[in-house]
Structure 1
Amino acid sequence: MLAGIFSVWHFVHRATFRLSKGMKDSVATASVYVLNVRPERRETLLNAEPGWFGGPRASEPVPAFGHSRRAPLVVLAAFEDGHLTHVGEARKGASAGTGLVRLNMVSLEALNRPIPFEEVIGRVPAKFRSGLRRTISNGGLLSPKTMSAVVDVLSEMDPVLREKLSSMSASRRRLIAALGDREKENLALQKETLAAALEISGVGTQGILEWTPETVERTSFLDGLGAAKVREDVMLHADLASLPGFNAIREAPHIAVRTFQSETDSAVRVTVVMANRLPLEEQTGADLIYFNETYRSFVLVQYKALEKVEDEHEFRWTDEDQFSSEIARMDNLLADLDKIEPDTNPDGFRLSSNPFFLKFCSRIVFNPDDRGLFPGMYLPLGLWKSLTQSGRLKGARGGNLLTYNNVGRKLSGTEFITLVAGSWVGTTISQSASLETMIRSVLESGRTVTFAVKRSPPPIPATAAEALPELDEGEALHPRKR
């Protein structure tokens, strides 16, 4: 058993493990690090400041190891010779000297009983015992197959651990593998829209790692997050119903919603609704529609995959295909937005009021253990139109061809997030009132709409504002932490 509610495993509970296929095409995978804590460091680490989940937030230099900082990392710690005693969430940190890196443990929780190394080693298949004995005795990262075997053994040893570790076992891998190619592609694109919304809002993408296939109802990625609410709950949300365009969202047969909150600033939160008309395997992609409630600004992002051809990533299309139809749809919607009177409200100022962006992704792989964004490039619709009209996007035989080399200027992920987060681009306040047509158009195309709303913190009541103490100039520039 575990002592108390083992909340740190909520982070780990959704992890799956796969071997990367080559360095160039590798994806971030979850890992387990075994830490043998030196006797002189044990009291110091256990008495460290509390982490997010109540356990100590400690850091220890360890030999350098390979692991993506974007993927989950679990630490099994031995604070007693020859016994696993604690488990926690970890991060691979910066260099701690020649050949060393920091192992940052966000929280540590004690097991109900110390588990002897030999008890674990004796229960794994024989082919893993030699490598496991070496790693568990010296400390370090477990190999993916050994780690999977260890997870299965720990699940058998304790019913509570079985519940917490079930998603790390072979059964979870089988559930993911059973998803069809189209299902996995659509889940990957929906996960990308969610990650982009969380990054733009400043909430962070940690919540993505909670995904599990066991609760997926074959409609959206959001269904796989335990706290997502079902359609009936969405209909009760009067605050969402008042948002521009939400009438179109509520018409979709399949809806899931979840609110994500920043772990560092409780005032920062984003509500995400995923809506679609078709089963997961029949959907044709996903669009992100991001709404900043403070500045009443919408931005829409459509995602396209770049194909790898020899040493170059490229995107090809024809003037009569689905992509050209989607561009024409954006043009028609933009023409309607342009008919709306200019916005003179300072909060409505935009560097560009064209809300449409394209993201061309060099890799679309469904990996629920990677909370990062797909590599790729963002193009504003206006730049895309200019590129196509200039003839720059033509191949050697006259076909339409986009590559990293011929596109010229493009927005990186950081640049795009900065522009959208500050509402420097997007619809004006007056334009945002007429977004229902755009949302309905996306749903009718068979794509999933990820409708993300960064919510404004509630205003301070007048009486409360009057009660706040006045700050002198120095304290206003450097306020005390409360």
Structure 2
Amino acid sequence: MDMWNHKELPHALRVSVIKKELTGPQAWRARKALDGGPCSPTAFKAMMNALKKADPKIFKIADKLIDRRPPPSDPEPTAARQNWAYQRDAVTTALEIARLPKELFRSPAQLPEGKKAPKSVFDNDTEMKSIEDILVVRDTVIRDPDWQFVTDQLYPAKTFDNGATKLTVVLANKLELERQLGVDLIYVNETLNAVVFVQYKMLRGRDGEDGYRPDGQLEAEIARMDAAARTLAECGVDDSCDGYRFGTDPFFWKFCRKLLTHNDQSHVPGYYLPLSYWKKLIDTPQARGNRGGLIVYRETFGRRHFTPSAFIDMIARGWAGTTTLQTSVLVPYLAEIMRGKTGVVLAVETTRSVDEDLEEPPEFVERKFVPPKPRHPGRKRKVIQL
């Protein structure tokens, strides 16, 4: 409704008169709304019908305040628009994990059109010098020397401040990060020493009704995640309270529906799944289509997924992600890549305890050479001169 287009009514009309004219199954909701509070679309329609019966002249004025133009259609999901939506959703998610107001980040829901359309959600920032679509986010005051370069803005980064909490979003070089980890979002929670990785996948269709079909790119991304997970597993078991996690899987998928809408101002609607659960899900009949092909829908997940609010709360409280031991290995690794160094390898150095007894070397058994028996005894061997 156009609430700023004020019109003077010809005379007053009591609310009780409108209530008497209310009929239908939603009449009770309309009566409750007339006393103050929200009103559903069906109850509002019943309210307007009652107003028309009570006073046609006032109804005519009120009816003109309603904007019945259809909302603009959603744009086609081009690669640039999807990239914009991924970045915007990642920054919004990071702000909520760090418990910072989303109002600190002002970005339109849709990619602005024009001759020089921006490719990054931070393009309007004068400190941005390059454009990439992989985000590494880090919360709280940076105290690790390996991350001190972030505060110097050597790479495109934006810092959000709110009291004692700082959130730095870095648009890092995606080539090395994605080649080695296969993820779109890396969240480093320095407060709780945890790192979480998120890979975005889009459900086809306006509301995700066409589902998602895994392809070769997904297999390559999973292979990178598995390689990183095997390396992190070499860190050993973290028995500390700070290192306790619900599970050992720091990798998550976010399956998005309605990726691009005209009025989305918050998260891209979607569902979070751990990588380990995804591997089990694709082996079930529920993940197969009518012709036996691999495809998942919203119904495939059922209730076994994390909503954005549940995921954010879990990550913010440190119940998921890498352990403190694994985080200590990841921090310098990620920092080296963000400094632009190529060919960086994620590795874990294991050292033997001084008190640990060395294993006794195996006994060496001397092997004796036994010449083979001659094939023809008594005959001289033929000599060939070269």
TM-score exceeds 0.5 = yes
SS in 1 for 2:287: coil
Greater Rg over alpha carbons, structure? 2
1:196 to 93, 96, 102: 93
Structure 1 residues 186 and 241: alpha-carbon distance in aligned structure 2, compared to 1, 3 A threshold:
farther
Indicate the residue corresponding to 2:290 in structure 1.
Answer: 396
Cα separation, partners in 2 of 1:424 and 1:277, compared to 1, 3 Å: closer
Q: CA deviation at 1:230?
A: 2.9
Distance between the aligned counterparts of 1:288 and 1:419, measured in 2? 16
Amino acid across the alignment from 2:237: P
Deviation at 1:422, TM superposition (A): 0.3
1:344 has 2:280 as partner = no
Q: Deviations over 1:434-460 (max 9, x none)?
A: 32657889999xxxxxxxxxxxxxxxx
* 1:229–1:37 distance in 2 versus 1, CA, 3 Å: farther
Task: Give secondary structure in 2 for the equivalent of 1:416.
Answer: helix
Question: How does 1:36-435 map onto structure 2 within 5 Å?
Answer: 97-98=33-34, 101=37, 181-211=78-108, 213=112, 218-224=118-124, 226=125, 229-231=127-129, 242=144, 255-262=155-162, 266-276=163-173, 287-308=184-205, 312-318=209-215, 321-365=216-260, 367=262, 370-390=264-284, 392-408=286-302, 409-435=304-330
Does structure 1 conserve the Cα–Cα contact (< 8 Å) formed by 2:255 and 2:270?
A: yes
Structure 2 counterpart of 1:306, one-letter code: L
Specify the alignment match of 1:155 in structure 2.
none
The alpha carbon displacement at 1:429 in A equals 1.3
Quote the offset at 1:217 in angstroms.
7.5
Indicate which of 34, 38, 45 corresponds to 2:4.
Answer: 34
* Residue 392 to residue 180, structure 1, CA distance change in 2 (3 Å): closer
CA 411–180 in structure 1, closer or farther in 2 if over 3 Å, else same: closer
Cα separation, 1, equivalents of 2:339 and 2:273:
22
What CA distance in whole angstroms lies between the structure 1 residues aligned with 2:166 and 2:65?
37
Change (3 A) 1:297 1:358: same
1: CA distance between counterparts of 2:64 and 2:166? 39
Residues in 2 aligned to 1:222 and 1:431: alpha-carbon distance in whole angstroms = 31
Kindly indicate whether the alpha-carbon contact (under 8 Å) linking 1:195 and 1:371 is maintained by their aligned counterparts in 2.
no
SS at 2:168 equivalent: strand
Cα gap change, 1:410 to 1:310, in 2 (>3 Å) = closer
Using the TM superposition, give the Cα deviation of residue 204 of structure 1 relative to its aligned residue in structure 2, in angstroms. Answer: 3.0
Give how far 1:372 is off: 1.4
Matches within 5 A, 1:396-475: 396-408=290-302, 409-435=304-330
Give the whole-Å Cα distance in 2 for the aligned partners of 1:96 and 1:215: 51
C-alpha contact (below 8 Å) 1:185/1:366 kept by paired residues: no
Partner Cα distance (1:269, 1:207) in 2:
12
Structure 1 distance, partners of 2:206, 2:107, is: 34
Counterpart of 1:426 in 2: which secondary structure? coil
Residue equivalent to 1:26: none
CA distance in structure 2 between the aligned counterparts of 1:311 and 1:183, rounded to whole angstroms:
19
Counterpart of 2:14? none
Deviations 1:309-341 (A, max 9, x none): 9993411124xx111111111111111111112
1:189-213 per-residue CA deviation (whole Å, 9 max, x = no partner) reads: 1111111111222213223434595
CA contact (8 A) 1:34 1:142 kept: no
Distance 2:118 2:312 in 1: 29
> What is the rounded CA distance, in whole Å, between the counterparts of 1:243 and 1:286 in structure 2?
25
Q: How far has the Cα of 1:97 moved from its partner?
A: 3.8
Which amino acid is 2:96 matched to? E
CA 1:98–1:215: 2 relative to 1, 3 Å: farther
Structure 1 unaligned runs (5+)? Answer: 1-30, 39-94, 103-133, 146-172, 233-238, 279-284, 445-482
Residues 241 and 35 of structure 1, relative CA distance in 2, 3 Å threshold? farther
Paired residue type of 1:183: A
TM-score by length of 1: 0.47
2: CA distance, partners of 1:246 / 1:401: 44
CA distance in 2, matches of 1:342, 1:180: 43
Q: Contact 2:213–2:295 (CA<8 Å) still a contact in 1?
A: yes
Amino acid in structure 1 at the alignment position of 2:4: V
Cα distance in 2 for partners of 1:267, 1:441 equals 28
Partners of 2:232 and 2:326 within 8 A in 1: yes
Which structure has greater strand proportion? 1
Cα distance between partner residues in 2 of 1:310 and 1:201: 29
Taking the aligned partners of 1:215 and 1:443, their CA distance within structure 2 comes to 32
Count residues in correspondence: 276
Counterpart secondary structure, 1:397:
coil
Cα 1:440–1:300 shift into 2, 3 Å: farther
- Aligned residues of 1:245 and 1:434 also touching (Cα < 8 A): no
Is the contact between residue 208 and residue 256 of structure 2 (CA under 8 Å) also seen in structure 1?
no
- Structure 2: give runs of 5+ residues left out of the alignment: 9-30, 39-60, 131-140, 176-181, 341-386
Distance 1:198 1:371, change over 3 A: farther
